[in-house]
Amino acid sequence: MDAARLALALCVLLGDEVRAAALPAACCWCDGDTPVSERSTLDSDGRRHELVFSDEFETLGRDFANGRDKRWTAINKSDYTNGSPMRYMPEAVTTVLDRGAYMRVSSNASVDDKEWREYARPHRSLHITTANITADARLAKAVNKTFTGGMLQSWNKFCFTGGIIEISAKFPAGAGFWPALWLFGNLGRAIYKESTDGLWPYSFEACDPDFEAMNVPTPGLKQRISGCDPEPGFGLNPRQGRGATEIDIAEVADSKNGANGWLATSLQAAPAIPKFFRPAHGEMPSGYRADPGTGRWALDPDAAHAARSATWYRGLRFGGNESNTPPVKPFVNWYGAPYADTLAGCTEGLNDLSERYRKFRLEWQEGDGGHLRWFIDDAFVFGIGDEALGRYTACGQSPTDDAFLCEHAPKRTMPAEPMSIVLNSALGSWNGGASATRGSLPGHLYVDHVRVWQRADRLNVGCDPPDHPTKEYIDAHPLLYGEPVLPRSEDACKPIYPPRARDAPLAPDGGDGGAARAPSARRAGEARGGAQARLIVSAVLVCAAVAAFVVGPRVVRAARGESAAARAASHYSSVVDGADAPDGGASIRAPMLLRPNGGGRRADAPR
């Protein structure tokens, strides 16, 4: 046995105290119960990451009500999002010894035959219960809801920017439940709707004058903190668009008999790309197919070349079809709200989501050149490269007159906001909703551990990094965020921000701040310059761009006339795939990125 292994064995033998002492002093958020072997990990590119946060939930009977826990807050509020009939209560969240589960005995998926089996070693886990409170009329009346459940948030306590997060979890058995493990940009607080309107799920830091000038039918949904604003105030950086980005590590749908469960791994991103590119909900995106060799879904190189124009996001990679993971497909149930896109992979055919713990891991490299990669039990399932978030432009001839119309989505930002962690089990518009839980209540969500690692040279832990500040804004808007959480983040652990996040924000006039400007602000400056109609058009763009200039006034007219624009949009005859096209379309109006009546629903899908 070599020295390192001997040391490791000794540590494990000597127990908690020694293990705690072995933690690097800097890791204030780390749980001493995290095994030594998990203090560092490698990403899929082989790069070493160090533990910066963990909770193993080894102590039983924990109380997560506000003020009781340094990492988490259990929400005490009724949920008015997504048609939820749920009251989140701190009483629904604690830690327990999980000895086993009812497991399927039959391999026949339609036979609901289960028996209780104990694990070789019980799990000490977080436990969130979903229950029916209709019988308790007084409570139901007091909270105005018919179900209770739990939501744990690290909002405004622990946030991180970039790195790897791993959550080991087991989900409620049966249909109806909506358990989710997710990350949320700290400028928004999950289910506090007033805090998320206008911020969810923007991932757009630059200034796009066309996007900025657009009429937004629902004013509350326009990006509240715009990259064009030279003086946003509240300690925010000038000319830096901000948002409450959502990254879903796993949203799970179990079935009534436990067979054929599935889950979605996704990024929600706004602004949305032009509706032309969006498949109807329920339909496979064109251009993607299962590779005959590997069974993995990917862009079909031939089809993609031919039908390039009409392809839903490029740069999506799907995994699965390995020994322990079923094939992963594009997620067709939901491509997003009218003004936002859902980029998702769907892992299908999971039969044991409520029987055993699986490890869900997300690799997140923030900002330009970054990526998101999801893994289940170490198998790659889904990935989004920065190129997927590029600029998309669609142009076409109106069928009603000879106007040429173009619309575009600017290049979005690979999420770079400080993110908080959310663990919950909702009920609502997913997997049959509340009525589908009949016979399955109460539901049980278990989480065995949560661990976050970052590269030693990219440590970025805290909710208020100078390049994406949140503290002053949150403190100045207490009505948006509900009850402040305690202990305060700064009283719990000292934040760690990398030198590049400390770049002084630019001068208020956005002038030549020189070397001291924040990277995002530099980008915003470039975008402003670029928008001055740089008409270096590629061969494909020439026709559309020239026509648009000739009929410029008509384009503007169409932009004002909502129905005309919508009609035109649904008859686009030609399209320019703009992710790698130059900025030639920048001076063309983008008339209908945001529309009042369910753009992106079936009726509007331009196919």
* Binding-site ranges for ligand NAG (CB under 6 A): 65, 76, 90, 108, 110-111, 132, 134-135, 144, 290, 294-295, 321, 327, 434-435, 437-438, 441
Closest approach, Cβ 85 to ligand NAG, in A, equals 8
Q: Say if CB 163 and CB 453 are below 8 A apart.
A: yes
CB of 135 to ligand NAG, least distance (A): 4
Cα 455 to chain centroid distance, Å, stands at 21
Nearer to ligand NAG, 145 or 411 (CB): 145
Give, in order, the Cα–Cα distances in Å from 517 to each of 26, 242, 498, 520: 29, 17, 15, 8
The least distance separating ligand NAG from the CB of residue 260, rounded to whole angstroms, comes to: 13
Distance CA 502, CA 230 (A): 19
Q: Cβ of residue 576: shortest distance to ligand NAG, in angstroms? A: 34
Length of the chain: 607
Residue (150 or 287) nearer to ligand NAG, CB: 150
Least distance in Å: CB of 346 to ligand NAG? 14
Name the region of 81 (left: φ>0; alpha: ψ -120 to 50; beta: rest). beta
Shortest separation between residue 536's beta carbon and ligand NAG, angstroms: 44
Q: Which is nearer to ligand NAG, 438 or 477 (CB)?
A: 438
Distance CA 253, CA 230 (A): 44
- DSSP state for residue 534 in the 8-state scheme: -
Q: What is the dihedral of CA 513, 519, 525, 526, to 10 degrees?
A: 130
* DSSP states along 324-338: TB--EEE--S----T
Q: How far is the CB of 120 from ligand NAG (least distance, A)?
A: 30
Residues linked to residue 247 through DSSP beta bridges, in sequence order: 183, 267
- From the CB of 109, what's the least distance to ligand NAG, in Å? 7
- Shortest reach from residue 142's CB to ligand NAG, in Å: 8
- C-alpha closest to that of 592 among 582, 579, 581, 606: 606
Q: Which two tokens mark 528? A: 């402003």
Determine the residue with CB nearest ligand NAG. 295
Q: Which is nearer to ligand NAG, 148 or 266 (CB)?
A: 148
In whole angstroms, the minimum distance from the beta carbon of 362 to ligand NAG comes to 24
Side-chain-side CA neighbours of residue 70 (13 Å): 13
The residue type found at 332 is: V
User: Where are the extended beta strands (E) located within 377-531?
Assistant: 379-385, 392-397, 404-409, 419-427, 443-454
Judging by beta carbons within 10 Å of its beta carbon (0-12, 13-18, 19+), is residue 574 exposed, middle or buried? middle
Strands 341-350 and 261-269: antiparallel
Could you tell me if 242 and 468 are in contact, meaning their C-beta atoms sit under 8 angstroms apart? yes
Q: Are 360 and 249 in contact (CB under 8 A)?
A: yes
Nearer to ligand NAG, 157 or 222 (CB): 157
User: 3-state DSSP call for residue 56?
Assistant: coil
- Residue closer to ligand NAG (CB basis): 110 or 138: 110
Nearer to ligand NAG, 309 or 437 (CB): 437
In the bound complex, what is the minimum distance in angstroms from residue 63's beta carbon to ligand NAG?
Answer: 8
Terminal Cα-to-Cα distance of the chain (whole angstroms): 65
Q: Which is nearer to ligand NAG, 40 or 108 (CB)?
A: 108
CB-nearer residue toward ligand NAG: 86 or 372: 86
Cα gap 331→328, rounded to integer Å: 9
Query: Token pair of 592, please?
Result: 């209908």
Q: Which is nearer to ligand NAG, 254 or 407 (CB)?
A: 254
Closest to ligand NAG by CB, 36 or 441: 441
Q: Can you read off the two tokens belonging to residue 436?
A: 């589908």
